[in-house]
A and B are shown apart, each in its own frame.
Chain A
């Protein structure tokens, strides 16, 4: 690793959907093994930012992008294999999606598509990921039942397990706690603290307190603009650099 100091470098990133601008000249660096929280009200461009990172934005057709995004120093928009990129950048979408296959297959899906066949290897991956997603104890006896029949919160954790199954270097979580009870949310937050040893974590969240609990740094997006990014302590202190940040994290607007 040449540029070990920066896992992700986003510079002057602008994304437009038709006439609507979702992100305006956002520049942001993320260090390896860091937990960066991204907070901001609805429509502030948080999800778009994540979709740029694994290039799923281009599946939605009408998005236009400017600026550069580098991961490990490499411009992700230029050539390279988009499927390898997506394996490197694990993504947990806000609405839980259990694929219409068994719980086991849900987690084994990505490894299988990458050519891992031996049952023993798959078994190990499935167990590891389900444990990490705090779901193993609930489903270990019924791995053959349908992933899409799990409850919302369980499906959400299944989604996390699936994102871990291809051993990403960067894990993006988009409001993962939407469908999960507070106790499980805390368990997963603990898991994230463990995972940071292996990976860099981007956490988009509506719960500002969640950012406060686990993030090293926090970025505040508003209407597609990066208002402020800094150590979580400062963002949540009484004196962040921007008044807007103070207002948002203290619930004065938004």
Chain B
């Protein structure tokens, strides 16, 4: 704080201290400045408290699940089919089913979503048609998953005649994740400064050359993050696969990664968890908890991979 007395620098500087009134420090503490400091530190603690509040439930859930599931967790649990009417055995069949569904749905949704987003962000002119598509994308991402399920049943299972199968269920999941992938990719693309594009256009680069040389390399980490977040969504949803390809029980050859075919029906972790917790009586206590922790663990692992990937890609980012 500069007091009015100090504004005349040429006069004050040579003997500044001598010129100060008795008892006035250079940085005076006033009631206002004390209040300012108090609210500053109070704000920091409030924000910190909210952050901790956010982490606490996650740790509690994880801890509780682990505690309950501990007796049953083993490699065998992962690698054997459910047995004796779901009351024993492991989760191999639903685990592999979920893996197939997630993988296939992302293989379908990623190229379509990313390319559509590149078109919308880089090529599309701002006219009524583009706005209509954007509106459709936004609304599509707000559609409840059970509606996607009905759409999948009508379009893929019945109309296209694929039947209830991994393929139909994956297509349904792909439709569900597509708008979010488009939105995430668009976000990542539009975070690349417009000036980079203009600099490229100014030297005669085409749009595609610009996208390839400058836009995509700088957006790729954001795009990947958006896609990988959809893994947990596809893995966790039960409704869309309920009518389109998931079954109550199916035994497959244990330990064989290729045990399912594209047109087979499959089990899935999310649905399995639902069934053994609500539909089957006398299930051992640890079984649903074990299933839940595997589902959660798989999703957390994939998120961890995405974070690692982001770190690697960001370290290569150049601005």
**Restricting to B189-234, which residues have a CB under 8 Å from any CB of A?**
193, 195-196, 198-206, 209, 213-214, 217-218
Interface-centre pick from B125, B195, B214, B319 (highest chain A CB count, 10 A): B319
B218 touches A59 (CB 8 A): no
A interface residues with partner B (beta carbon < 8 Å): 54, 56, 59, 61-62, 83-87, 90-91, 93, 95, 97, 99-101, 109-110, 113-114, 146, 148-149, 159, 162-163, 165-166
Per the bound structure, the CA–CA distance linking A15 and B196 in Å amounts to 25
A163 touches B203 (CB 8 A): yes
**Please, how many residues of chain B have a CB less than 8 angstroms from a CB on the other chain?**
22
Q: Does B131 contact A (CB under 8 A)?
A: no
Q: Which of A59, A86, A148 contacts B203 (CB 8 A)?
A: A86
**Restricting to B85-130, which residues have a CB under 8 Å from any CB of A?**
125-126
A83 touches B202 (CB 8 A): no
Beyond A87-B203, A166-B204, 17 additional contacts (C-beta under 8 Å) are A56-B201, A61-B125, A61-B126, A90-B202, A93-B195, A93-B198, A93-B202, A97-B195, A99-B200, A109-B213, A113-B203, A113-B205, A113-B206, A113-B209, A114-B204, A146-B319, A163-B203
Min Cβ gap A114→B in Å is 7
Q: Which of B126, B204, B318, B319 contacts A113 (CB 8 A)?
A: B204
Per the bound structure, the CA–CA distance linking A67 and B195 in Å amounts to 28
A101 touches B203 (CB 8 A): no
Per the bound structure, the CA–CA distance linking A159 and B218 in Å amounts to 20
Check A100/B195 contact, CB under 8 A, given A54-B202, A56-B201, A86-B201. Answer: no
Residues of B within 8 A of A84 (CB): 204
Per the bound structure, the CA–CA distance linking A84 and B202 in Å amounts to 11
Interface-centre pick from A93, A97, A159, A163 (highest chain B CB count, 10 A): A97
Q: Does B285 contact A (CB under 8 A)?
A: no
Residues of A within 8 A of B202 (CB): 54, 56, 86, 90-91, 93, 163
Per the bound structure, the CA–CA distance linking A91 and B202 in Å amounts to 6
Check A162/B203 contact, CB under 8 A, given A61-B125, A113-B213. Answer: yes
Give the interface SS of chain B, mostly helix, strand, loop or mixed.
helix
B206 touches A83 (CB 8 A): yes
A159 touches B199 (CB 8 A): yes
Residues of A within 8 A of B200 (CB): 99, 109
A110 touches B205 (CB 8 A): yes
B199 touches A83 (CB 8 A): no
Per the bound structure, the CA–CA distance linking A126 and B217 in Å amounts to 23
Residues of B within 8 A of A59 (CB): 198, 201
Residues of B within 8 A of A91 (CB): 202-203
Residues of B within 8 A of A90 (CB): 202-203
Residues of B within 8 A of A162 (CB): 199, 203
Residues of A within 8 A of B83 (CB): none
B204 touches A83 (CB 8 A): yes
> Mind listing 8 A-B residue pairs with CB under 8 Å?
A61-B126, A93-B199, A93-B202, A97-B193, A109-B203, A110-B204, A110-B205, A148-B318
Q: Which of A54, A61, A83, A100 contacts B205 (CB 8 A)?
A: A83
Per the bound structure, the CA–CA distance linking A114 and B318 in Å amounts to 24
Per the bound structure, the CA–CA distance linking A93 and B203 in Å amounts to 11
Q: Does B317 contact A (CB under 8 A)?
A: yes
Residues of B within 8 A of A146 (CB): 318-319
A100 touches B214 (CB 8 A): yes
Residue of A nearest to B203 (CB): A110
Q: Which of B196, B198, B204 contacts A100 (CB 8 A)?
A: B196
Interface-centre pick from A84, A90, A91, A165 (highest chain B CB count, 10 A): A91
Residues of A within 8 A of B126 (CB): 61-62
3 residue pairs, one from A and one from B, having the closest CB atoms:
A100-B318, A110-B203, A87-B204
Residue of A nearest to B193 (CB): A97
Per the bound structure, the CA–CA distance linking A2 and B193 in Å amounts to 42
The digit string for B306-319, where 1 denotes a CB below 8 A from any CB of A, is: 00000000000111
Residues of A within 8 A of B319 (CB): 100, 146, 148
Interface-centre pick from B195, B201, B204 (highest chain A CB count, 10 A): B204
Min Cβ gap A12→B in Å is 26
Per the bound structure, the CA–CA distance linking A54 and B125 in Å amounts to 19
Residues of B within 8 A of A62 (CB): 126
Per the bound structure, the CA–CA distance linking A202 and B220 in Å amounts to 38
Per the bound structure, the CA–CA distance linking A97 and B201 in Å amounts to 12
Residues of B within 8 A of A109 (CB): 200, 203, 205, 213
Per the bound structure, the CA–CA distance linking A83 and B195 in Å amounts to 18
